[in-house]
Structure 1
Amino acid sequence: MNATPGRNLRWLPLVVFGAIVALLAAGVWLSRDPGRDALPSPLIGKPAPAFELPVLHEPGRLVSSEQLRGAPYVLNVWGSWCPGCREEHGVLTRFAETRRVRVIGYNWKDEHADALRWLEQFGNPYWMVLVDYEGHSAIEWGIYGAPETFLVDADGIVRWKHVGPMTDDDVREKLVPALERLESR
């Protein structure tokens, strides 16, 4: 007969901790899947959410989703507080310099002065920067982190989404082919 039943329970916290670490490690390992940018989005193939947001460099000017129709655009969600945004900034800048499509910045949950300072420091690749200080429009887009990038066609339909920092390979192998599909219609 076991005289100290509590003695066996002393390992319980260690076992629980080990199980949590194993689950977290599995999540990290699975998130390294190169297909992660193909995250299913309920918006793909549907109209982009309607919005009316101020322009970063002209705070009194509002731009609506309707005003962006007529030509495709890439909507890039970023913030000065976002390390991944800094990581992808050079990639986005090189893509924007091709002027193949409008690249619109979506500054999310940022301070006005911080966003301006960030663009001054790293450069502004955007055709226009919209701001969503409170993150209300982001909810409709299904944005849950930055960076995220969307391709919206001329009719306002979301055609592609990428989650996380884009690389040159992502642009070449995923964004450009998605854009070519739009151009061939």
Structure 2
Amino acid sequence: MQRFLPLIIVLALFAVFLRMMTLEDRNPNEIKSVMIGKAVPEFTLPGLMPAETEIGHEALKSGQPVLVNFFASWCVPCRAEHENLMKLAGEHGATIIGVAYKDDPAKARAFLEELGNPYSRAAVDRDGRLAIDFGVTGVPETFVISGDGMISYRHWGPIVGDGLETKLLPAYEAVK
């Protein structure tokens, strides 16, 4: 039996590696969020639009589900997902709060003027502090917030392909 022990160990490791490689919803580049199931962090940020006042964490505890989308005008994947954000706001009636991450407010406003504004409100996170508090690893990232201010889902990366229908919308509908 002792003579077969190395073979058994190799086969067990092979089985573990094979299982890890074939997990369907596993993205090796994605860092799992530690914020799922936790309350949104407390914050107050200046509004992006000239007529907008400060936006704080209270806006995410409205009794209705809210999406928080971290974006930037310099972010190419943010452009790619923008059409789906417009669809979420228009066709699905989702309330989306935009957070311009480490962006010049004038450039972020120009970005929204060019592509359309899916956000019910938008804020500026110039130093990236709120993104750190949310656990953002890079833009774009979208969070589903339940009506009581709890983070229930994080969509890592752009909302493209079937990501809207298979991941984000079901997570959003689950907290309605």
For residues 90-134 of structure 1, the C-alpha deviation after alignment (integer angstroms, 9 at most, x for no partner) is: 111111112432011111000011111111111111111111011
Count of residue pairs the alignment pairs up: 152
Letter in 2 for 1:163: W
Residue matched to 1:174 = 167
Equivalent of 2:72 in 68, 76, 79: 79
Query: Does residue 56 of the first structure (1) align with residue 48 of the second (2)?
Result: yes
TM-score by length of 1: 0.75
Task: Provide the secondary structure at the position in 2 that maps to 1:175.
Answer: helix
Percent identity among equivalent residues?
38
Unpaired runs of at least 5, structure 2:
1-20
Residue 168 of structure 1 deviates from its aligned partner by: 4.5
Unpaired runs of at least 5, structure 1:
1-29
Equivalent of 1:115 in 108, 114, 122: 108
Equivalent of 2:35 in 33, 43, 46: 43
Residue 66 of structure 1 deviates from its aligned partner by: 1.5
Equivalent of 1:124 in 105, 114, 117: 117
Q: C-alpha distance in 2, partners of 1:151/1:55? A: 20
Task: Provide the secondary structure at the position in 1 that maps to 2:54.
Answer: strand
For residues 7-56 of structure 1, the C-alpha deviation after alignment (integer angstroms, 9 at most, x for no partner) is: xxxxxxxxxxxxxxxxxxxxxxx8xx754397421110111111111110
Q: C-alpha distance in 1, partners of 2:98/2:116? A: 12
Query: Does residue 89 of the first structure (1) align with residue 82 of the second (2)?
Result: yes
TM-score by length of 2: 0.79
Residue 180 of structure 1 deviates from its aligned partner by: 2.2
Query: Does residue 67 of the first structure (1) align with residue 59 of the second (2)?
Result: yes
Residue matched to 2:3 = none
Residues 177/38 of structure 1: CA separation in 2 closer, same or farther (3 Å cut): farther
Letter in 1 for 2:121: M
Task: Provide the secondary structure at the position in 2 that maps to 1:149.
Answer: strand
Residue 146 of structure 1 deviates from its aligned partner by: 0.4
Letter in 2 for 1:41: S
